[in-house]
Chains A and B, each alone.
Chain A
Amino acid sequence: MRKTLPRAALGPLFALATAAHAAVMKPPVAPPSVPFTKATVIAGAQFFADHCSACHAVSNLRYKRMGADLGLTKAMIKKSFMKPGGANYLKGMRPAMTQAQAKKWLGLPPPNLSHMARALGPRFLYTYLTSFYWDPKRPSGWNNHVFPNVAMPYILAPWGGIYTKNGKLLVPGRESPAVFDRHVADVVAFLRYASDPSVFERRAIGRYVIGAFVLLSILAYLLKKDYWRDVHDKEADSHSQKSATIKPARKG
Chain B
Amino acid sequence: MTKTNEGPQGLRDGANQGRRRFLIATTSVVGVGIVGAVAVPLVESLEPTAAETAAASATFNLAPVEPGMQVTIPWQKKPVIIVNRTPEMLATLTEVEKKGVLKDPNCTVPQQPPYCKNMYRARKPEWLVMVRICTHLCCIPHYRPKKASVGPSWLGGFHCPCHGSMYDLSGRVIKGSPAPHNMAVPEYHFSPDGKSVTITKMYPKAHLC
Contact between A and B in the complex (any CB pair below 8 Å): yes
Contact assessment for A219 and B26 in the assembled complex, using a CB-CB cutoff below 8 Å: yes
Task: Enumerate chain A residues within 8 angstroms of B24, measured Cβ to Cβ.
Answer: 223
- A13 interfacial by beta-carbon distance below 8 Å: no
Q: What B residues does A65 contact at CB under 8 A? A: 50
Whether a CB of chain A sits under 8 angstroms from the CB of B12 is: yes
Taking CB atoms, residues of chain B closer than 8 Å to A175 are none
Nearest chain B residue, comparing its CB with the CB of A89:
B54
- Identify the closest chain B residue to A219 (Cβ): B27
Provide the main secondary structure of the chain A interface. helix
Inter-chain contact B54/A90, CB cutoff 8 Å: yes
Residue among B7, B19, B34, B54 making CB contact with A226, cutoff 8 Å? B19
Decide: B9 and A247 in contact? CB cutoff 8 A.
Answer: yes
Q: Tell yes or no: A250 within 8 A of B by CB.
A: yes
Contact A230 B12 (CB under 8 A): yes
Name which residue of chain A comes closest to B31, CB basis: A216
Smallest beta-carbon distance A85→chain B, Å = 15
Which chain A residues lie closer than 8 Å to B34 at the CB level? 212-213, 216
Q: How many residues of A contact B (CB 8 A)?
A: 24
Out of B7, B27, B30, B37, which one reaches A251, CB within 8 Å? B7
Task: Take A212-B37, A230-B10 as given contacts and tell me if A90 and B57 are in contact as well, using a CB distance cutoff of 8 Å.
Answer: yes
Chain B hits for A216, CB < 8 A: 27, 30-31, 34
Are A226 and B33 closer than 8 Å at their CB atoms?
Answer: no
Contacts A249-B6, A249-B7, A249-B10 given; indicate if A62 touches B50 (C-beta within 8 A): yes
Q: Is B94 an interface residue (CB 8 A)?
A: no
Say whether A90 contacts B30, CB under 8 Å: no
State how many angstroms separate the Cβ of B9 from the closest Cβ of chain A.
Answer: 6
**Interface residues, chain A, with chain B CB atoms under 8 Å away:** 62, 64-65, 88, 90-91, 212-213, 215-216, 219-220, 222-223, 226-227, 229-230, 233, 247, 249-252
